[in-house]
Amino acid sequence: MHLFYEVSRECSKITTKKYSTSFSSAIRLLHKDLRTPIYNIYGFVRFADEIVDTFHGYDQGALLKQFKDETFYAIERGISLNPILHSFQQTVNHYGIAMALIDAFFKSMEQDLKKLEYDSETYNEYIYGSAEVVGLMCLNIFCEGDMEKYSILKPYAQSLGAAFQKVNFLRDLKADTQNLERMYFPGCNLLHISDAEKQQIEADIQKDFEHAYKGIIMLPVKARFGVYVAYKYYMSLFSKIRKIQAKRIMEERIRIPNYGKAMILAKAGVRQQFNML
């Protein structure tokens, strides 16, 4: 079984590296004890995202239901022949991740198949299930069984997950609205978003980032630097998005080049060295 466990963990790690160089880089900055379970969570989340975002021409609803059923079956049985689900169930069962978080995640994935326009209530519900619960799953790992610490840091982890997701929405606005027919931000004409609407969205994201930072500096030392670097990467992306006009978001996907990411890491390293996080 040891070899099967190892192969399963490697599948989640490879999935993370292939789909997100930024997150995989941040994970490598975590303490070695935390890396594997975070890879396992990301691999699971990424596969679900793939079903609803890219498996066009297939019955995505049936595939998502199958993936959901197999997820809960794997957690219950403690094993799966799907290596991504096997590594995920190991993490869920070892760290006692609440099933309610996984339920909420799948509810948001199901919403993506309906191509909805969101009002304030469904938007907040979607953000919670698609992003905040992922932050809470990771927080389970970071706290390593310290539930008092988890309870204190929970709202900050939710804010960080929400900020990341909302920045993704802005970055991917063209693809989401034109290709996937998703209108996430409520009360905005996203096909012709104005600068005023963009600024209103950005003000909300800024609040999330400011709140999240208060929690980052309280994280256990094993997790703090890796999470801080991920935070700084998204803050850099967010700052770049804020500087451009709304119409440009519908023309191109804003990115941070590799040299920019290297600078973020270097500056974060200096701040850590001088205990300035």
**Segment 71-105, tens digit of pLDDT:** 999 999 999 999 999 999 999 999 999 999 999 99
Going from N- to C-terminal start, the domains of the chain cover 2-273
> How far apart (Å, rounded) are the C-alpha atoms in residues 222 and 76?
30
Instruction: Domain 2-273: give its CATH superfamily.
Output: Farnesyl Diphosphate Synthase (1.10.600.10)
Which segments in the chain show pLDDT lower than 70?
Answer: 268-277
What per-residue confidence (pLDDT) applies to 117? Answer: 81
What per-residue confidence (pLDDT) applies to 257? Answer: 79
Asked if residues 22 and 261 have their Cβ atoms less than 8 Å apart, the reply is yes
Q: Count CB atoms within 10 A of the CB of residue 102.
A: 20
What per-residue confidence (pLDDT) applies to 261? Answer: 72
What per-residue confidence (pLDDT) applies to 2? Answer: 86
